Amino acid sequence: MPVLEATKVSRNAYEAALLNFDLAADKLHLEPDVREIIKYPERVLHVSLPVRLSDGHIHRFEGYRVQHSTARGPAKGGIRFHPNVTLDEVKALATWMTWKCAVVNIPFGGGKGGVTCSPKDMSIEEVERLTRRYAASILPLIGPEQDIPAPDVYTNSQTMAWIMDTYSMTKGYPVPGVVTGKPISLGGSLGRNEATGRGVFYTVLAACGQLFIPIKGARVVVQGFGNAGSVAAHLLDSNQAYVIAVSDSRACIYNKNGLDIPKLMLYKDKTGQVLGFPGSTEIQPAELLALECEILIPAALENAIDEENASSIRAKIVAEAANGPVTPEGDTILESKGVFVIPDILCNAGGVTVSYFEWVQDTQHLFWEAQDVYSRLERIMKTSFAEVLKIHLEHKVSMRVAANMLGIGRVAEAVKLRGLYP
């Protein structure tokens, strides 16, 4: 296993999600009955996945699909393939999806899926068999009007194509709207692949504007140079910021004058790692997080910043491209240091927003130009940032509490209006 792969799992992500729910619900003075309804997952499926490996043996994997809420629309959320996947992690991620969809005000609830596996150590054929088995096992839950998966860590558009195909086989006709993040040729949306990083970029621009930090010359550090992290880095680099350090699961690299991001993206594509990129030096993970910079983007996994290392952070802005990268304990420390945190359910909501656009396009069989996708995304991200900022300033709460207040408030309103639970 690569050296950094085993991220800290000390903080239970689901407990953190519940804790953050309570903080926001208290500020909203939410009625106990409504809390009972919206706090917990509506539906949890735990599946056993026997898959034949290339050596001829059967290996049994465990997978999950959690629908946290369908109060505002079908459940929506990615699928993660990672060795650290647990039911509690998936429950946390599904919970955050509910508040996230409500923050950007798109008509979805929250869901998430995961399989405990190490796709990097598997052949492509093994990953395909596992994906199809998983898709077949969660079939009763998913569908364009029920629950729509998308890519997450170590899954991608190919994974979505296999899920779409497996689902469509059971129907006898193609159903592109069952997943988002598909290849363009199967009904994917232009701009979906870059959407999360692009959304991170828009919120970083908004935060820099608020804090009077010029983007030109700003120093950026990215933990996790994958889909979300590399696109955010690329857009910031294109706007004359300096990306001085990045990492992946194997190593962290640094150049105080800024890394050449387009070349680094090609290098990572070719070699599968950032280590050894010409002109960079290797640093340790703790050093990367503690670098003096304007913008730190955790874009890997949960619990990257906690009570042990939060005091070492020297960034002015922490932009949470990842889900749950700062623990509640880490939050308290960052707040006391005056670090401006763009919380995950706002910062990385660009991905689900363009997933929504993809679903709309699939439903209408009418596809948009890339520029339409970008301008609609920009409008939604900027509006959502402004709405969260307003609550942050008016209620004198952290940006995280403010975002949760916005999302949870909208879900609570939906439940009350539907009168589902008299």
Q: What residues act catalytically? A: 112
The H-or-E segment that residue 77 falls in is: strand 75-82
* 40 Cβ contact list (under 8 Å, min separation 6): 68
Helix, coil or strand: residue 183: coil
Nearer to ligand NAD, 213 or 280 (CB): 280
Q: How far is the CB of 34 from ligand NAD (least distance, A)?
A: 27
Pattern 278-317, ligand NAD, x by CB under 6 A: ---------------------xxx----------------
Q: What CA–CA distance (Å, rounded) separates 93 from 24?
A: 17
Cα→Cα distances 319→174, 221, 269, Å: 38, 10, 24
Residue 17 touching ligand NAD (CB under 6 A): no
Q: How far is the CB of 303 from ligand NAD (least distance, A)?
A: 10
- 3-state SS, 19-63, equals HHHHHHHHHCCCCHHHHHHHCCCCEEEEEEEEEECCCCCEEEEEE
Nearer to ligand NAD, 101 or 408 (CB): 101
Ranges within 328-367 binding ligand NAD (CB under 6 A): 348, 351
**Could you tell me which stretch among 83-91, 133-141, 275-283, 319-327 binds ligand NAD (CB under 6 A)?**
319-327
Q: How far is the CB of 147 from ligand NAD (least distance, A)?
A: 17
Site size for ligand NAD, by CB under 6 A? 26
Residue 397 touching ligand NAD (CB under 6 A): no
| Nearest residue to ligand NAD, by Cβ distance, number only | 226
Phi first, then psi: what are they for 340, rounded to 5°? -90, 110
Residue 151 touching ligand NAD (CB under 6 A): yes
Residue 92 touching ligand NAD (CB under 6 A): no
Q: Provide the 10 A C-beta neighbour count for residue 307.
A: 15
**Nearest CA to 42 among 146, 163, 177, 164?**
146
Identify the residue among 323, 361, 384, 398 touching ligand NAD (CB under 6 A): 323
Residue 247 touching ligand NAD (CB under 6 A): yes
Q: How far is the CB of 126 from ligand NAD (least distance, A)?
A: 18
* 280 Cβ contact list (under 8 Å, min separation 6): 253, 254, 255, 259, 274
- What is the token pair recorded at 108? 């979805």
Q: Are 367 and 189 in contact (CB under 8 A)?
A: yes
The single residue listed with the structure tokens 């619990």 is 303
Q: How far is the CB of 325 from ligand NAD (least distance, A)?
A: 7
Residue 94 touching ligand NAD (CB under 6 A): no
Nearer to ligand NAD, 153 or 415 (CB): 153
Q: Are 62 and 48 in contact (CB under 8 A)?
A: yes
Ranges within 197-236 binding ligand NAD (CB under 6 A): 223-229
Nearer to ligand NAD, 226 or 407 (CB): 226
Q: Are 295 and 220 in contact (CB under 8 A)?
A: yes
Q: What CA–CA distance (Å, rounded) separates 104 from 98?
A: 10
Identify the residue among 70, 116, 203, 249 touching ligand NAD (CB under 6 A): 249
Residue 321 touching ligand NAD (CB under 6 A): yes
Q: How far is the CB of 323 from ligand NAD (least distance, A)?
A: 4
The H-or-E segment that residue 112 falls in is: strand 110-116
Identify the residue among 147, 165, 237, 248 touching ligand NAD (CB under 6 A): 248
Q: Where are the alpha helices (DSSP H) in 221-305?
A: 227-238, 261-271, 285-289
**Could you tell me which stretch among 61-69, 148-156, 311-319, 396-404 binds ligand NAD (CB under 6 A)?**
148-156
Q: What CA–CA distance (Å, rounded) separates 76 from 194?
A: 18
Nearer to ligand NAD, 210 or 273 (CB): 273
Q: How far is the CB of 351 from ligand NAD (least distance, A)?
A: 3
Contact positions vs ligand NAD (CB under 6 A): 4-5, 7, 151-154, 196, 223-229, 247-249, 299-301, 321-323, 348, 351
